[in-house]
Amino acid sequence: MHEVIIDGHSLTIYDVVKVAREKAKVKLSESAIKNVKKSREYVDKLVEDERTVYGITTGFGKFSDVNISKEESKTLQRNLIISHACGVGSHFSEDIARAIMLLRANALLKGFSGIRLETIEALVALLNSGIYPAIPEKGSLGASGDLAPLSHMVLTLIGEGECYYNGILTSSKEALEKCGLTPVALTSKEGLALINGTQVMTAVGVLTVYDAINLVKLSDISASLTIEALNGITDAFLPVLHEVRPHKGQIDTARNFLSILSGSAHTTNQGKVRVQDAYSLRCAPQVHGASKDAIKYVIDKVNIEINSVTDNPIIVADEDMAISCGNFHGQPMALAFDFLGIALSELANISERRIERLVNPQLSGLPAFLTENGGLNSGFMIAQYSAAALVSENKVLAHPASVDSIPSSANQEDHVSMGTIAARKARDICFNVSRVIAIELIAACQAIDMNKEYKGRPLGKGSKIAYDIIREHIDYIDKDTIMYKEFEKAAKLIENNTIVSAVEKEVGCLYNF
C-alpha cells in the first residue's frame, strides 16, 4: 500500500486524498523530529520557570489573565479538551475525519507548537489503525481554530468520547484497546496545540477542491455532448476569439471544446443552421473558464494552508519566543471556500440551462422531454425539475459565510471567520453540481439518440468516448423508468473519474491545475 511521509512542509492535495480515501499509511519524516523535540524542550522550560505564556501557564480566551501553576498544567489541558468538545450534528465522513487527523499531524510536525513527539506519533498511530473519531460537523466559528470539532478528535486520542472502528460507532476506549493503543495523557500546551488550528475547514475544503477539479473538467464534456445533441456552432470556440481576452480558463475551455468535438458531424458553423447559439452553449468557455480560474486560486491557497503553522501561541525556541498571534484565524480559507462554492454553483447554473434546452421542444426541435410517446411517458420532465431544485439550493448555499462574524469568549475573540461553514457549504454545493451534471450527461446522450436527422453521423473524438461510456452503463430510455437509479449510475461514473480519465487519455489534459 502507498505510504505518505509527512514533514510539515511538502504535503500535497493528492497526498491528502491518498490517506483520506485510499487509506495510505502515514509515516513521520526523520528530518522533522529534531524541531519537534526542540520546541517541546522549550515549553518544558517555560512551565518550569513559571513564565506567563498564553495557554501554557494561563487559562484560555477570556481566562487568559488567570495564571495556572505548573502542578495544574496537565489538568488544564485535559479540561480544555473535554469542555471544548461541544460539536453538534451528524458526524463527518471517514475521509474527512482522516484528512483532519493527517493535516493536524502535519502542522504539528513543523516544530512550532511545543507538543511532544510521542503525542504526534499517537495521532498518526490512530490514523494508521483505521480508527477515526466521531467528529460532529457543526460548532466551529473558524477562529481560535476549529476548537469544537478538533476537541472531538482529541477525545478519541485520550480514550474519551466516541469513534468509528470497522465502520461501527463505538467508545474510543474500547477501540483503542482492540488496536493495542494507549490513551494519551496530555501535558502542558498539548491540548491547545491539538485544537488551535484550521484543519477541519481545510480538510473539508481540500477534499472538495479535489472533487471540483474532476467536476470542472467533466462540465466541458457534458457541455460538449449537449452541443452535439443540439448541433451547436463551434466557430465561437476558435482560438483567435479567446486570445484577445486572455483569461487562462476561458482559453483552455474553448480549446477543450474544439478537441472534444474534433471530427464531429453533429456540430455546425455560423450561418449554416443558425447565426448564433444561446449563451449556455456559446458562452460556456467564459463561464466554465471563470470557474476554473477560481478553483485554481483556491488550490493555491489550500496548498499554502496544509503546510502552515496555525497554532497559538507559536513557539520559536531558537529565538526564545512564545508569542500569541492570529495564525489560527480561518479567514484565508473562509474566503477561498466561499469562492469555491460560488464557482461550483455556476457550473450547475449553466448546466441546468442546457438541460432545459434539451428537454424543451421549442428550443431543441426534439420530442418534448426527450420521450418517444409523450403524454403516456413523461421522459425527462422531472429530471429538469430536480436539476432546477439543486441549482436553486446552491444559490442559497452560495451566500458567503465569511461575511458573518459573532464575537465570542466575552468579546476577547471579537472577529471570527466562519470558515468551516464556508467549507461545508462548498462540499454540499459540489455534491449538488455533480448530480446536475449527471442529469445533463444522460439527457444529452438521450437527445443525441433522438436526433434522427443526424443519426449515424460520427460524434467528436472526445464526446464519442463519453457517449460510449455512458451507454455502457445507461441504456437509451424508450419508456418511463425509475430515473433516480439512472442518475446514480452517472454519479458513480463521476465519482470514479471514469469519463474524465478516458477523455483526457484521448484528447489530452482538459485543464492543468
Q: Is the Cα dihedral 329, 333, 339, 341 positive or negative?
A: negative
477539479: which residue's cell? Answer: 213
- C-beta of residue 400 within 8 angstroms of C-beta of residue 422: yes
- CA of 131: how far to CAs of 14, 90, 116, in Å? 21, 18, 21
- C-beta of residue 124 within 8 angstroms of C-beta of residue 105: yes
**Which of 310, 260, 263, 511 is CA-nearest to residue 417?**
310
Q: Residue 288, exposed/middle/buried by CB under 10 A (0-12, 13-18, 19+)?
A: buried
HSE-up (13 A, CA, CB side) for residue 167: 0
Q: Using CA atoms, how far apart are residues 458 and 116, in angstroms rounded to an integer?
A: 64
Strands 88-91 and 25-28: unpaired
- 297 in catalytic set: no
Q: Using CA atoms, how far apart are residues 391 and 385, in angstroms rounded to an integer?
A: 10
- CA of 364: how far to CAs of 171, 220, 276, 357, 443, in Å? 58, 20, 14, 6, 12
Return the C-alpha cell found at 274: 443558425
Q: What is the DSSP string of 150-164?
A: HHHHHHHHTT-SEEE
Active-site residue among 54, 132, 164, 511?
Answer: 54
Residue positions annotated with a catalytic role: 54
